[in-house]
Structure 1
Amino acid sequence: MKTDIKKPISDRQRQEPESPAAGSVQGLKQPTKPDQQKDRGWKSRKPLLTILLCLAAGLKLYAQDPVLPPTNLGLANVFDGIAGKPGFVYQGYAQYFHTRDVYDGGGHALHSDLKINSLLQMNQLIYLSPVRVLGGNLGFTVLVPIVQINSSSAAGQAPNANPGVLGDVVQGTAVQWSDKKLFGRPFSHRVEFDVNLPVGNYDSHYVINPSSHLWAYGVYHAFTMMLDDKFSISSRNQFNYNSHYVGQKGKPGAYYNGNYSIDYSVFKSLKVEAAAYYLTQFNQDSYGGDHHYYSDHYGIGDTKERVFGYGPGLAYFAPNGVLIETKVFFETAAKNRLAGSRPTLRIAIPLSK
């Protein structure tokens, strides 16, 4: 099982395959070589990936192999495909992550006392222009995450966290189609291309950093469909590609993340919702282009991550156009990562009259 937590290994250090460093987090086992795993009867059990993402846009924890960069896990659900009229909109998000347990590559809880709890404040500025492209409106967005991280372990020393709070900035370019029809029902949707800029706080002396320390690229399609006067459904489906870590050869695999919701209007201004998100990694992490590197050198047969979150929510539409959405997600079906709960708040404020 992969459980040793340490700072990223430089390319110079990796010229010869090395065994995991000593000093694992208490309650988690270090990885062993493949023949040692066989001797210990671990042949059928997938390893633990203890480097993990704890926030949709902030937390990074490094070990032997790469880990997926921050992404949108339940930040936006209700009316996600609707953008309103051209102009500026500010969206603010707050999301708290509380660790329940650590899960290995087989989806088994390790009952570890490791806790990495984090608070994210995401600031997003959106500009929807009057410029028409492919029948829709051209738009641009910038997201700036601020994250506070704390780690603890009752049985031993916890991994150290960078006290810096700036995560990586994301820039997006989109085309928004509003007030369309699908199967005779009102339908609005958007396609967006995002670039993750590795400009956040990063220091190799820390195990946990706000920055992903890599360039990442994503494209998503978001939509909202009005089923009738009371019900609507919304979804965002995003596909992501990661570069190598800056100055290193490690590279996380490509992955998908999606947000989903169905809501019901209790009153004209108040909706109740059932919301969910899902993340799954498509291919193994690689080193120098070798997708078998971590299996061959560390006995880590599966580095792919997965998690599913679900929960209830409320959305309030104020008379001045402000949207307030609050939800709480409970995670399950996790593999190679922490899982827990994510209380989430979203506020959308139109800045143009």
Structure 2
Amino acid sequence: MQATTLAGNSGPHNTRPLFYSLLQLTLLLALFTGKPHNAQAQDPTLPPTNLGLANVFDGIAGKPGFLYQGYAQLFQTRAIYDQNGHKAPTDLKINSLVTLHQFIYLSKIKVGSGNLGFTTIIPVAQVSASSTTGNAPSTNPKAWGDIITGTAIQWSDKKLFGKPFSHRTELDISWPVGAYTKSYAINPSAHLYSFGLYHAFTLQLNKQFSISARNQFNYNTHIIGTKARPGAFYNGNYSVDYALLPSLRIEAAAYFLGQLQQDSYDGHSDYYATQYGINNTRERVLGYGPGLAYFFPGGGLMEVKGFFETAVKNRPAGFRSTVRVAIPLSK
């Protein structure tokens, strides 16, 4: 969020290619990733995931029927950080605007006392790259990302500690059908299959306060046509909100991403350490910031947030502004 010349000759004392390897991670911040020509010369980046897209009332799905949710995230790079969490000496900037279109169907079919649901997410991205001291990486002008489909069980209007509690478990699959051309350094498609299993909940403490969280674990396959595989990782969204008015809530929101396994090549998790001196390929980032949520008559929702990123390793860091809109399509 990368060209053949950048992917070659990437030894432990040659830091410039490493910075471009870190640069690959910028599209991930906007739910997309780029891949190099020669994947074995750079450690692979993590595939798309949910970083602060949904926070307030995330565990609540509403009545059975169809629902549309639209998301927009603008990411602006502040700096790029290496495997030790140190700022890399580069002025490279990658700014991206990503929109996602999610279509949800919550059925009346009961599974384990919950409602069976299905979802499809279609991502679209616009990316710009700039550098005043060197060449910026090339970007694929096609904007379609990898489609995500999911199957969920939603439990609504339950109780926890005597308080209203709604929660959901969902299995998502990311399909490598987005735009990908290896001649471009940055592509909308991650070019691999990714599987994510998450649990989201909302606990309403009283009429003013509620707590919401989403905890997700992700497993990735090899990048298609290569032996490189990004490691498994965790990501989570968290929020505490307070009702200023019956229809308006203020929130303190956060997200965290932590890679659990080292990236591997041909099944070897020490490959990038022995070959290129990258002893730690695991990514990490913490984002936090304020938000507002407005509830429309009829069940619609608009959520606006701004996140500042810190505690970063092996990826760029910056500011992420996010807008989420939920519109029920069934009466």
Q: TM bucket by the smaller chain?
A: over 0.9
1:19 aligns with 2:9: yes
Q: How does 1:1-353 map to 2 (within 5 A)?
A: 5-7=2-4, 19-20=9-10, 29-30=16-17, 49-54=22-27, 55-62=29-36, 64-353=42-331
Shift of 1:58: 2.3
How far 1:296 moved relative to its partner? Answer: 1.1
Q: 1:300 to 1:6 in 2, by over 3 A?
A: farther
Question: What amino acid does structure 2 have at the position aligned with 1:328?
Answer: G
Residue 41 of structure 1 corresponds to which residue in structure 2? none
Task: Label 1:103 to 1:9 Cα distance change in 2 as closer, same or farther (>3 A).
Answer: closer
With over 3 angstroms needed to count, the CA separation of the structure-2 counterparts of 1:77 and 1:211, relative to structure 1, is: same
Q: Which amino acid aligns with 1:29?
A: R
Residue 50 (structure 1) shift: 3.6
Query: Residue 90 of structure 1: CA displacement?
Result: 0.1
How many Å separate the matches in 2 of 1:193 and 1:178?
Answer: 18
The TM-score with structure 2 as length reference comes to 0.94
Counterparts in 2 of 1:117 and 1:343: CA distance versus 1, 3 Å: same
C-alpha distance in 1 between matches for 2:244 and 2:5: 50
The CA deviation string for residues 102-133 of structure 1, in whole angstroms up to 9 with x for no partner, is: 00111111242100100001000000000000
Q: Is the 8 A contact 2:91 2:132 kept in 1?
A: yes
Separation in 2 of the partners of 1:61 and 1:232? 40
Residue 60 of structure 1: how far off its partner (Å): 2.5
Q: Is the 8 A contact 1:232 1:262 kept in 2?
A: yes
Deviation at 1:66, TM superposition (A): 0.7
Q: CA deviation at 1:231?
A: 0.2
Residue 299 of structure 1 and its aligned partner are, at CA, apart by 1.2
**Cα offset, 1:9, TM superposition:** 11
Residues in 1 aligned to 2:163 and 2:326: alpha-carbon distance in whole angstroms: 25
Show CA shifts across 1:19-44 (max 9, x none). 339xx9xxx6345xxxxxxxxxxxxx
2:24/2:33 contact within 8 Å kept = no
Give the match's secondary structure for 2:275: helix
Q: Per-residue deviation at 1:230?
A: 0.3
Alignment check: 8 A CA contact 2:83 2:278 kept: no
| CA distance in structure 1 between the aligned counterparts of 2:26 and 2:48, rounded to whole angstroms | 6
CA-based RMSD of the aligned residues comes to 2.0
Cα distance, 1:144 vs structure 2: 0.2
Q: Are 2:22 and 2:80, in contact at CA under 8 Å, matched by a contact in 1?
A: no
Q: Which amino acid aligns with 2:9?
A: S
- The one-letter amino acid paired with 1:287 is Y
Task: Extract unaligned runs of 5+ from structure 2.
Answer: none
Distance 2:279 2:16 in 1: 16
* CA distance in 2: counterparts of 1:83 and 1:50, whole angstroms: 36
Would the aligned equivalents of 1:53 and 1:61 in 2 still touch at CA under 8 Å? no
Cα separation, partners in 2 of 1:250 and 1:9, compared to 1, 3 Å:
farther
TM-aligned CA distance change 1:89 to 1:7, over 3 Å: farther
- Distance 1:172-1:223 versus aligned 2 partners, 3 A rule: same
Q: Indicate conservation of the 8 Å contact 2:6/2:17, yes or no.
A: no
Question: Equivalents in 2 of 1:179, 1:210: separation in Å?
Answer: 38
Structure 1 pair 57–50 and aligned structure 2 pair: CA distance change class (3 A): closer
What is the total number of aligned residue pairs between the two structures? 323
Mapped to 1, the partners of 2:57 and 2:4 lie a distance apart of: 40
> Deviation of residue 8 (structure 1)?
11
On the 8 A contact 1:68/1:252 being kept in 2, the answer is yes
Contact 2:240 2:251 in 1 (8 A): yes
CA shift, 1:7, in A, is 4.8
